[in-house]
Amino acid sequence: MRKTARPSDPVLSRRAMLMAAPALALLRAANAQERWPPVFETGRNQFTVVRPHAPMPQLRLQDTNGRDAVVTAKPGRITLVNFWATWCAACRLDLPTLASLAGSRPDRLDIVAICTDTKDLRKIRAFLGGLAVKELACYVDAYGAAAQASTEMFSLVGMPITYLVGTSSRVEGYIAGAPEWLSPAGTRLLQFYREQG
The answer for residues whose C-beta is within 8 angstroms of residue 190's C-beta and 6 or more apart is: 78, 105, 109, 181
Paired residues of 61 in beta bridges: 69
Name the residue among 26, 76, 47 with its Cα closest to residue 164.
Answer: 47
CA–CA dist 101, 136 (Å, integer)? 9
Classify residue 16: in a domain, yes or no: no
| CATH at residue 114 | 3.40.30.10
- Domain assignment of residue 12, yes or no: no
Residue 173 within any structural domain of the chain: yes
Residue pLDDT, tens place only, 130-187: 898 988 989 998 888 776 666 565 666 678 999 999 999 999 999 998 999 999 999 9
pTM above the 0.85 mark?
no
- For residue range 67-89, what is the model confidence (pLDDT) as tens digits? 999 999 988 999 999 999 999 99
Sign of CA dihedral 30, 36, 41, 46: negative
Residues 92-140: tens digit of each pLDDT: 999 999 999 988 866 778 999 999 888 889 999 999 998 989 889 899 9
Whether 28 is covered by a domain: the verdict is: no
Any domain includes 162: yes
Write out the residue range of the structural domain in which residue 138 sits.
48-195
Is 18 contained in some domain? no
Query: How do strand 171-176 and strand 161-165 relate by DSSP bridges?
Result: antiparallel
Residue 34 is assigned to a structural domain of this protein: no
Q: How many domains does the chain have?
A: 1
Burial 74-91 (b: 16+ CB within 10 A, else e): eeebbbbbbbbbbebebb
In a domain, 53, yes or no: yes
